[in-house]
Amino acid sequence: MAYKYLFFSDYSEGCHPRILECLSRTNLSQEIGYGEDTISLEAAKLLKEKIRIQNVDIHFVSGGTQANLISLASMLRPYESIISADTGHINTHEAGAVEATGHKIDSFRNPEGKVTPETIQCLVVEHRDEHMVKPRVVFISQPTEVGTIYLKKELEALLQVCKESNLYLFLDGARLGSALTAKDADLDLKTIASLVDLFYIGGTKNGALLGEAIVVVNDALKPEFRRHLKQRGALLAKGRVLGSQFLELFRNNLYFDLASHANAMAGKLSRGIKDLDFGFLTDSRTNQIFPILPNDLIEKLNKLYGFYVWSKIDDSHSSIRLVTSWATREEAVDEFLSDLRRLK
C-alpha cells in the first residue's frame, strides 16, 4: 500500500504496548482454560469496579459479531425479533449472523442511526398479530454506526418504552470508549449498566488486540451464558488472552485515555474540514466522521489516504468515512488537512 495513512478503521494497528507486556509477563504461568484463569477473573473484577455495580456478569469474547449474535440468541425465543435501525451493524455487516441463529431483525430507516421511542411503539403495535414475529429486544449502538451518540435522557426514554412493552434493551458498545469520552457525552459505565439489560465494552476498536467484554446486567440473562458462548465457538481455550486485554485497558483508565485521543484526532480532522467549508453527513463527535466532499476531490485524496466512500449525496458529492484510533498520530491528521487544503 502506498497510502500515507489509513483512515479505514480503528483496528488498523495492533494494541497498546502495555497489553503485550502483560501477555509476556504472564506467559508461562499455568492457568485454567476457557476464561476461568486468574487473569480473566482479575480483569472481570476490575471491570466491575469501574462499572461500580457488583451484581453483573462479565464474559470476554473475541469480536463484535460474536458478542452480538450470542447476546441476542441468549435473549430470544424462536419467534422473537430484534428492533434495530437499518444502519445497525447486525442488520448490514454481519453476513446474516443473527438470522443464522433463527431470528428476524425488524429494521427501519433513521438518518441518525438511532432507535426512537416512537419507532419502538409503532413496531410493537404493528407486530401484535400472531402471524408475525414478536419484537423482544431493542438493539442500539453507542455510538451509532454514523458516529452519533445517545444522551442519557434518550436512553432513559428508550428504557421506559422497553419496560412498557416487555422488551430487552441491548447496547452494542464496540466503540463505547469513544462514545463515553465524546464532547457533550453525559453517560458513564454505571449509568449505562443501570439503563440496559446487557451491553458490551469494545476492546478491539480501542487499543486491544481483540476482545469485547459482555456485561450481563439483567439477572434473567445470566444463567448458562457460558454454554451460549461455548456453543457459538466463543470460549477461547486460552481465555487469558482476552483477560489480559481488559486488565490493562482498565488499569489506570487507559481505556478512556485511548478513546479520548481517538476522539481528539477526529475532532481536529473535523474542525479542519469544517474550516474549509465542507459539510458532514451527521453530527459526529466520536472517532468516525463523515465529511461530504466533491467526488473529484475524493478521488484525489483517495490516492494518498486509505478511507471508505460511505454514501452518495448527489451526482457530484459523496460522504466519506474517516476513522481515527488510539494510535493515530497528530502528524497524520495535520498532513491530511494540509493535503485537503492543497487539493480542494
CB of 311 to a copy of itself, least distance (A): 11
Q: Does 204 bind a copy of itself (CB under 8 A)?
A: yes
Q: Tell me, by CB under 8 A, how many residues bind a copy of itself.
A: 79
Going by C-alpha positions, the residue among 196, 189, 200, 182 that lies closest to residue 282 is 182
Pairing of the two strands 308-314 and 317-323: antiparallel
Q: How far is CA 318 from CA 26, 236, 309, 311, in A?
A: 48, 41, 7, 6
Q: How far apart are the first and last CA of the chain?
A: 24
| CA pseudo-torsion sign 177, 163, 56, 229 | negative
Q: Does 245 bind a copy of itself (CB under 8 A)?
A: no
Q: Does 85 bind a copy of itself (CB under 8 A)?
A: no
Name which of 51 and 110 has its Cβ closer to a copy of itself.
Answer: 110
Window 160-199: contact mask with a copy of itself (x via CB under 8 A): ----------------------------------------
Torsion of CA 256, 257, 260, 261, to 10 degrees: -150
Q: What three-state secondary structure class fits 156?
A: helix
CB of 11 to a copy of itself, least distance (A): 4
Q: Does 8 bind a copy of itself (CB under 8 A)?
A: yes
CB of 129 to a copy of itself, least distance (A): 8
Q: How many CA atoms lie within 13 A of 121 on its CB side?
A: 9
The sheet with strand 105-108 has its strands ordered as: 57-61, 212-216, 198-202, 168-172, 134-141, 80-85, 105-108
Window 275-314: contact mask with a copy of itself (x via CB under 8 A): -------------------------------x--------
| CA pseudo-torsion sign 126, 130, 132, 134 | positive
Site for a copy of itself in 213-242 (CB under 8 A): 224, 226-228, 230-238, 240-241
Site for a copy of itself in 100-129 (CB under 8 A): 100-105, 129
Among 131, 153, 184, 277, indicate the residue that binds a copy of itself (CB under 8 A): 131
Q: Does 79 bind a copy of itself (CB under 8 A)?
A: yes
